[in-house]
């Protein structure tokens, strides 16, 4: 068996955090093949001119209704931090999210920087999720 890393973008999906909300819509991996590969989310691009100060963390679910915070092997939330509030851009996703591929549902959640408290965004935010091959 030869293990290789495929770093090509297979698809892009835009999900939204609504004005006054902290959660994106559900990113659903419908096929067993998709889940077997793992959650190969490689990059998250935040569009718009402003971002309410916060980090983004990942939640996972088996059924799309009961959500769990995605954590790494040390128990830390899998997060994107350091988001530029005046000029949000493209951010690499921590590699540990790949281990969450057994979950067919993933969403992103806006939380306090370094913390766990939900942060409601002050406007509708589009999040482009780049999913690898």
Q: What is the pLDDT of residues 79-126, one digit of tens each?
A: 999 999 888 889 988 888 877 777 888 899 999 999 999 999 999 999
What count of other Cβ atoms lies within 10 Å of the Cβ of residue 51?
A: 22
- Residues with Cβ within 8 Å of 83's Cβ and at least 6 positions away in sequence, in order, are 46, 51, 53, 54, 55, 56, 91
Q: What is the pLDDT of residue 6?
A: 47
Q: Is residue 7, in this structure, part of any structural domain at all?
A: no
Decide if 12 is inside a domain. no
- How far is it, in rounded angstroms, from Cα 74 to Cα 93? 17
Give residue 70's pLDDT: 95
Host domain of residue 101: 20-132
In-domain check, residue 91:
yes
- Of the ranges 29-38, 40-49, 105-114, which one carries the lowest mean pLDDT score? 29-38
Question: Looking at the 3D structure of the chain, how many domains does it have?
Answer: 1
Does some domain include residue 92? yes
Q: Dmax over Cα atoms in the chain, in whole Å?
A: 49
Report yes or no: 60 and 105 within 8 Å, Cβ to Cβ: yes
Q: Could you tell me if residue 40 is inside a domain?
A: yes
Task: Report the predicted TM-score, pTM, of the whole model to 2 decimal places.
Answer: 0.85
35 pLDDT more than 70 = no
Q: What is the rounded distance in angstroms from the CA atom of residue 114 to the CA atom of residue 128?
A: 22
């Amino acid at each position: 068996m030869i293990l290789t890393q495929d770093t090509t973008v297979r698809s892009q999906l835009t999900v939204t955090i609504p004005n006054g909300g902290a959660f994106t819509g559900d990113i659903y991996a419908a096929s067993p093949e998709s889940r077997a590969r793992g959650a190969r989310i490689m990059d998250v691009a935040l569009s718009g001119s402003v971002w309410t100060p916060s980090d983004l963390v990942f939640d996972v679910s088996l059924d799309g209704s009961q959500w769990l915070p995605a954590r790494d092997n040390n128990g830390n939330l899998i997060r994107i931090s350091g988001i530029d509030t005046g000029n949000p851009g493209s951010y690499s996703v921590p590699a540990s999210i790949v281990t969450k591929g057994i979950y067919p549902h993933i969403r992103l959640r806006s939380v306090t920087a370094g913390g766990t408290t939900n942060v409601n965004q002050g406007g509708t935010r589009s999040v482009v999720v780049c999913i690898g091959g």
